[in-house]
Amino acid sequence: MPRNCIRETSPKENEIFLWKMDPPNKERRSLENGPSSARPCCSSLKMFLVALSFAYFAKALSGSYMKSTITQLERRFDIPSYLIGVIDGSFEIGNLLVIAFVSYFGAKLHRPKIIAIGCLLMSLGTFLIALPHFIIGRYKFETSIRSSVNSSSNLSPCPVSSGVPATASSTTAGPSSGCEHESRLSMWIYVFLGNILRGIGETPVQPLGISYIDDHALEENAAFYIGCVQTISVIGPVFGYLLGSICAKIYVDIGFVNMESISITPGDARWVGAWWLGYLIAGLITLLSAVPFWFLPKSLPLPERRLAKYSPERTSFIKDSPLLEHKYQADEPANFLEMAKDFLPTLRSLLGNPVYSLYLCITIIQFNSLIGMVTYKPKYIEQHYGQSASKANFLMGVINIPAVALGMFSGGVIMKKFKLSIMGAAKFALGTSLLGYFLSLFFFAMGCENASVAGITRSYNGTESLYKEDKYLLASCNTICDCPRRNWDPVCGENGLTYISPCLAGCRTSHGSGMDTVFEQCSCVAVGNHTASAGQCSNRDSCHRVFPYFLALSVITSFIISLGGTPGYMLLIRCIRPQLKSLALGFHTLTTRTLAGIPAPIYFGAIIDTTCLKWGQKKCGGRGACRIYNTTAYRIAYLGLTLGLRTASFFLCFLGLVVLRRHVRRQERNTLANGGTGAAAGELQALRKEENNSCNSDQCRQTADYDPERETRL
């Protein structure tokens, strides 16, 4: 490097440069910029990185916590799974409402403050989700022993009928007292609106945050900084599910009820944890994440030496930046009408790329499978393997999420180590997806038998069968009792059979309170002392034995499938011209959220609802949340839909490989025809990712002012 380009520095200034962690062979700043103006820039950028990482952590934590509370919300608001899917998809709805506005206008405004406003909206939405707990009143679950609380006296759970068979009036309990005071507005609407607000607030965090880093960081550090932010965001779901696990152990009305009087445990289908507490914690964390952005500047000084290292296209883009308006004339359309006219032809050109169009279709189908599977996986673990919501969330947080994060990181390392071309990345992503798919087929063999419930999955004499009509709940042993058939208040008989209520078990007397309640003289329990205890029987030993194998296979498949995540994403970037990259990424995000993020939880939940064997009853009448599922049907519906969607995507994957191979060969022919110069060569370079090796050592030394071994790439 010429001597006159380097300013003589004092030892003190050298210490400043070392403090800033600049590579030793970087050129020194010009005299007018000087080290005194560089340190605030570096400090502000580091502060922005810390703030953005915390914001990523906060939004990932609250999003994963939402998924961990699915069963809690179902039971608290007595709603089916498809409505939970509507609530879960409302986040994407809020995101799509403002994504175009934020993406276009956000870059022209004060980006850190726009992100701060977004964090405030996320926090407000999270607090709004928790609001129903404070206005809906105490949780009242179905039980026939409520009157025995704090009492050890005998009382009969079996009211003797007048000799007339139970009528419809006795089978369908009417609205309970106090319903006239209930709000006509369903409380889950507040959760729906709060999640929409969360989606609106989350919109500016990623696009504006990443663009701010890319605009102000040195090119060799930008990828490293963005990778650090993305890595921090992976930690968020781990803490989100762990928070969900802790809150699910705590009773919903903790501090306001006598816990000794509660006759249910966290493993009961009626149990509702302190779901609201986690939203308050997540909302507070999100609120704190907004604070640093208010103190950050709109823009940072951009070193002039940075422009020398950019390609002509990148330099042209930077010159159009508002940061350099005083030096360069922006090359933008004159008005909005011209921008609109230019948009449609550009979009048509993008969708005319067969590789991109096929990739878009493939990811939409696979995202439907992924989002539906992840949304209801904790519920599947609960219902199928008889685990509590707390344990299911804990396992998701400490096992599944880290496996996915490790897989994505390892995929990026493999891609860099072996310098995969675009064809290599496509084959690697398809191979890992196929391997994970075939391993997932073993989940069908890891099934559990249905819980033994009299009148639903077993007859009263113990014969295995399925009954979906309430009339089968009556038998000769309980006809003398006038029992409501809609209430779910299970008791476990000495014979290992679960009965829906003490009344339907034919129990005449009881003593004790809460979980210590014992029912005696049960005519349907024809063994031993004819007694039954509160709660459902947990005698599915074979199911508990297969559960560890399910967890191990789940971790392995999650890791293998995630290996192809990074190569697949790089395929999206490389299969298009650099001028269309931003539009391609934005349109990909828009379509996957619209066609996968919103509908997948809804139709997955609706299909799961069809496997319900016994619905609960709302306090004021009507069907509530499901209490017990047909385990076999649930497994086939959940796994079948997940793997069926992936099967359909593989047909498009093979077609995509053929089209991609032809596309690469066509670019090679065009490059040879043009003598290896021009736009065709540039596009081929992007497709094959050989630009890393295209420059000789002399050229690299002239164009790069840092040690190549310290370069950070994805």
Identify whether the C-beta of residue 26 lies closer than 8 Å to the C-beta of residue 304. no
Please compute the mean of the pLDDT values over residues 97-107 and round it to a whole number.
75
Please compute the mean of the pLDDT values over residues 654-665 and round it to a whole number.
88
Q: Return the CATH number at 108.
A: 1.20.1250.20
pLDDT of 413-436, one tens digit each? 888 888 888 888 899 999 999 999
Q: Does a structural domain hold residue 260?
A: yes
Of 315-324, 469-478, 523-532, 546-555, minimum mean pLDDT range: 315-324
pLDDT number for residue 147:
44
SS (H, E, C) 102-162: HHHHHHHCCHHHHHHHHHHHHHHHHHHHHCHHHHCCCCCCCCCCHHHCCCCCCCCCCCECC
Q: Does a structural domain hold residue 197?
A: yes
Verify that 74 and 138 share a domain, yes or no.
Answer: yes
The encoded tokens of residue 86 equal: 């509507």
Please compute the mean of the pLDDT values over residues 438-450 and round it to a whole number.
92
Please compute the mean of the pLDDT values over residues 83-96 and round it to a whole number.
92
Q: Does a structural domain hold residue 108?
A: yes
Please compute the mean of the pLDDT values over residues 622-626 and round it to a whole number.
83
Verify that 58 and 202 share a domain, yes or no.
Answer: yes
Domain tally, the chain: 3
The encoded tokens of residue 2 equal: 């010429």
Q: Which amino acid is at 236?
A: G
Q: Does a structural domain hold residue 426?
A: yes
Q: In the predicted model, is pLDDT for residue 478 greater than 60? A: yes
Please compute the mean of the pLDDT values over residues 52-81 and round it to a whole number.
92
Report residue 694's pLDDT band, with 50, 70 and 90 as the boundaries.
very low
Verify that 502 and 441 share a domain, yes or no.
Answer: no
pLDDT number for residue 652:
93
Higher pLDDT among residues 482 and 401, named by residue: 401
pLDDT number for residue 43:
67
Indicate the residue among 524, 539, 554 that finishes a domain: 539
Verify that 135 and 212 share a domain, yes or no.
Answer: yes
Which of 176-180, 183-187, 500-504 is modeled with the greatest confidence? 500-504
pLDDT of 570-595, one tens digit each? 788 777 887 777 678 778 888 998 99
SS (H, E, C) 155-191: CCCCCECCCCCCCHHHHCCCCCCCHHHCCCCCCHHHH
pLDDT of 632-649, one tens digit each? 999 999 999 999 999 999
Verify that 344 and 432 share a domain, yes or no.
Answer: yes
Residue whose tokens read 């030096």? 327
Identify whether the C-beta of residue 459 lies closer than 8 Å to the C-beta of residue 465. yes
From first CA to last CA, the distance across the chain in angstroms is: 29
Helix/strand/coil for 386: coil
List C-alpha distances in Å: 460 to 170, 341, 454, 467, 530: 21, 72, 5, 12, 14
User: Average model confidence (pLDDT) for the chain?
Assistant: 78
Verify that 456 and 414 share a domain, yes or no.
Answer: no
Please compute the mean of the pLDDT values over residues 663-672 and round it to a whole number.
79
Higher pLDDT among residues 120 and 478, named by residue: 120
Q: Which helix (H) or strand (E) holds 615?
A: strand 612-617
Verify that 490 and 395 share a domain, yes or no.
Answer: no
Verify that 488 and 631 share a domain, yes or no.
Answer: no
Report residue 132's pLDDT band, with 50, 70 and 90 as the boundaries.
very high
pLDDT number for residue 151:
47
Verify that 202 and 101 share a domain, yes or no.
Answer: yes
pLDDT number for residue 708:
34
Q: Does a structural domain hold residue 676?
A: no
Report residue 335's pLDDT band, with 50, 70 and 90 as the boundaries.
low
pTM: 0.79
Of 644, 607, 643, nearest to 626 by C-alpha is 607
Of 358, 396, 403, 371, nearest to 568 by C-alpha is 358
The encoded tokens of residue 694 equal: 């295209």
Report residue 608's pLDDT band, with 50, 70 and 90 as the boundaries.
very high
Verify that 354 and 437 share a domain, yes or no.
Answer: yes
Q: In the predicted model, is pLDDT for residue 60 greater than 90? A: yes
Report residue 609's pLDDT band, with 50, 70 and 90 as the boundaries.
very high
Q: Does a structural domain hold residue 171?
A: no
pLDDT number for residue 23:
43
Residue whose tokens read 């992840």? 374
Residue 515: which domain range? 452-539
Higher pLDDT among residues 99 and 155, named by residue: 99
Q: Does a structural domain hold residue 421?
A: yes
Q: In the predicted model, is pLDDT for residue 379 greater than 70? A: yes
Please compute the mean of the pLDDT values over residues 611-640 and round it to a whole number.
87
Report residue 337's pLDDT band, with 50, 70 and 90 as the boundaries.
low
pLDDT of 240-281, one tens digit each? 999 999 999 999 998 888 877 787 888 888 899 999 999 999
Indicate the residue among 492, 509, 539 that finishes a domain: 539
Phi, psi of 195 (to 5 degrees): -70, -35
Higher pLDDT among residues 26 and 648, named by residue: 648
DSSP state of 499: E
pLDDT number for residue 261:
75
Indicate the residue among 251, 276, 302 that finishes a domain: 302
Verify that 600 and 626 share a domain, yes or no.
Answer: yes
Of 27-31, 183-187, 282-286, 346-350, minimum mean pLDDT range: 27-31
Q: Does a structural domain hold residue 480?
A: yes
Please compute the mean of the pLDDT values over residues 87-110 and round it to a whole number.
82
Verify that 548 and 629 share a domain, yes or no.
Answer: yes
Q: In the predicted model, is pLDDT for residue 316 greater than 70? A: no
Residue whose tokens read 């890319």? 214
Of 107-116, 327-336, 510-519, 669-678, minimum mean pLDDT range: 327-336
